[in-house]
Amino acid sequence: MRILGIESSCDETAAAVVTTEGAVLSDVVASQIDEHAPYGGVVPELAARAHLRAVLPVVAQALAPLPRGLNDIDGIAVTNGPGLVGALIVGVQFARTLAFCTGLPLVGVNHLDGHLLAAHLRYEGARAPSYPYVALLVSGGHTALYRVDAYDEITILGQTRDDAAGEAFDKAAKVLGLGYPGGPVIDRLASHGDPAAVPFPVPMASKATLDFSFSGLKTAVARYVQAHGRPDDDKTLADVCASFQASVVQVLARKSVIACQRQGIDRLVLCGGVAANRGLRARTAELAARAGVELVVPPVRACTDNAAMIAYAGALRLAHGARDEDLSVYSRDPMARRRGKFRRDGTLVKRR
């Protein structure tokens, strides 16, 4: 089966054609970084408008390598959550219209499921992990640990209680005057710095929980700048970036390996945009090797938001008979454990 995947959950419009076996026949991504950079983060309304402009040409480009275009497609998969509602609506409505006009079967895909299965895409040189495995999904909007027993058997083991790691990178970069997106810039500067130069705290370092928290570390960076000012020389800036990154990657890598040990699983997969971070890859590889855990890291192009992972996850659902005729969008991950005033199903917990 050849499946057309469409992704528009945040600030990248993407389309791809992937087979049920994970072979990537096309993979097109239109980034919106230039649109949002002046604002220091993603502006939902601007993102939705950019998706409207890009979705048709991006899908057309993804279909171009196929001799008969849409006639060579067996089904359509589209991200329908979690994400920015306005952005998701663009992709979902386009996919629904395309399915209606062609009669092709349609399925919705959880964006996070796409990331968790991205390691199975057959890019050149990539090796797919065997089930079961523990996955660390770390991105700008999500940070969580999962046990993956099959494409449709996924259990959450731990999650961030506040900011995602990628969000912390971007906010720290903004405080340091490094622009947006901040993660790649901090990663580049950190490679030239001393990770022990600034004693930033390692957030939620306790082994008792597999949850994470990054808001305090973000505040620590802000207080450092408040006390010392923004670094005005390259060496100090590199040291601050290296120290911040070391605190983030230490807790991510450590808890990932602990999760493998607790689950009795010797395979660990890194996924999500922050999985492209060289510091995270290096530290996780080091700790995994010590613990005898096999580490699988997809190519960078499969870590960041893309439609190939959505097409593959959708292909598996379609191959097992799934169909979503009435497809709607949702902004929050239904698998995530809810805290505070709302239950997992989104209903309000009334105060006594």
pLDDT tens-digit map of 154-199: 999 999 999 999 999 999 999 999 988 899 999 999 999 999 999 9
Whether the per-residue pLDDT at 339 is higher than 50: the answer is no
Query: In the 3-class helix/strand/coil scheme, how is 160-194 assigned residue by residue?
Result: ECCCCHHHHHHHHHHHCCCCCCHHHHHHHHHCCCC
Report d(CA 313, CA 22) in Å as an integer: 9
Sign of the dihedral defined by the CA atoms of residues 138, 142, 250, 148, in that order: negative
Which amino acid does the sequence have at 214? F
Query: Shortest CA distance to 91 belongs to which of 47, 61, 121?
Result: 47
Cis peptide before 65, with omega less than 30 degrees from 0? no
Whether the per-residue pLDDT at 348 is higher than 70: the answer is no
Q: Where in the chain is the domain with CATH 3.30.420.40?
A: 2-117+303-319, 130-297
> Quick one: tokens of 173?
């970069």
How does pLDDT run across 13-51, given as a tens digit for each residue? 999 999 999 999 999 999 999 999 898 889 999 999 999
Please identify, in words, the CATH class of the domain defined by 2-117+303-319: alpha beta
Predicted TM-score of the model (pTM): 0.91
Is residue 86 within a helix (H) or strand (E), and if so which, with residue range? helix 85-102
CATH number of the domain at 130-297, out of 3.40.50.1100, 3.30.420.40, 3.30.70.260, 1.10.1740.10?
Answer: 3.30.420.40
Average pLDDT estimate for 270-297:
96
